[in-house]
Amino acid sequence: METLQFKTLIIVSNRQRFRRPGETKNHAVEKSTRKITTTKMIPRRLLLHSFGFIPVLLNVPLIAEALEMNEPEVIRTQKLDSGVRIQDIIDGEGKEAREGDLVEVNYVCRRSNGYFVHSTVDQFSGESSPVILPLNEKEIIKGLKEVIIGMKAGGKRRALIPPSVGYVNENLGPIPDEFGPRRSLLSHVKEPLIFEVQLLKVL
């Protein structure tokens, strides 16, 4: 177990000491008090626990497990020939999206390790800014088009999109207008991306 060094200052006072002949009272008091510096080895875990850090540092996996438990149940899964893996979370009941349609969607994009990249839904306020996408490969990444086609309005899907059918062209959507989010997204185009898509409308 890793330990940290702590220097402890101990004041030892001898109240029973008598003055020697010719020695002043102040001098006797000064000499009767000795400062002893000792070095103690304190276990790192015990030290962190005393400051309340242990619950935060050691329970990160437990927090992650709790979050996973709150995720919606997956209705069905499928793998397409392109390598796209799709999980249906909610079956919509509205109009079905087809090739060439215009659709309005909200989405969250993450890296395959779960790290956030971009979303049309604000993570703090919950406000959404849906985007309108044409379902054709000249304007939208092929993988996302394959995910949306066949969905019905009100439906929700999660998909893992490999880079071969992802952002092979920087002009393909969806892509954020803001410089920071745009740069963040484009820095990960060579790796698989996870999209969670909610189909709001088929226009």
pLDDT at 72: 63
The sign of the CA dihedral 127, 99, 186, 166 is positive
CB 93 within 8 A of CB 185: no
pLDDT at 123: 81
The residue whose two tokens read 């952002």 is: 167
Is the pLDDT score of 203 beyond 70?
yes
What does the pLDDT average to over 11-29? 48
pLDDT at 152: 97
130 phi and psi angles, rounded to 5 deg = -60, 150
- Residues 94 and 11: their CA atoms lie apart, in Å, by 79
> Whole-number mean pLDDT of the chain?
77
Is the pLDDT score of 145 beyond 60?
yes
What does the pLDDT average to over 36-47? 47
User: pLDDT, tens digit, for every residue of 84-119?
Assistant: 999 999 999 999 999 999 999 999 999 999 999 999
Tell me which of 203 and 18 has the higher pLDDT.
203
75: confidence class by pLDDT, cuts 50, 70, 90: confident
pLDDT at 17: 45
Element (H, E) at 25: helix 25-32
- Residues 59 and 78: their CA atoms lie apart, in Å, by 34
User: pLDDT, tens digit, for every residue of 153-180?
Assistant: 999 999 999 999 999 998 999 999 889 8
Is the pLDDT score of 29 beyond 70?
no
b/e per residue, 158-174, with b = 16+ CB within 10 A? bbbbebebbbeeeebeb
- Residues 79 and 87: their CA atoms lie apart, in Å, by 9
Is the pLDDT score of 37 beyond 50?
no
pLDDT at 130: 96
Both structure tokens of 165: 């059918």
Q: Which residues contact 7 (CB under 8 A, 6 or more apart)?
A: 37, 38, 39
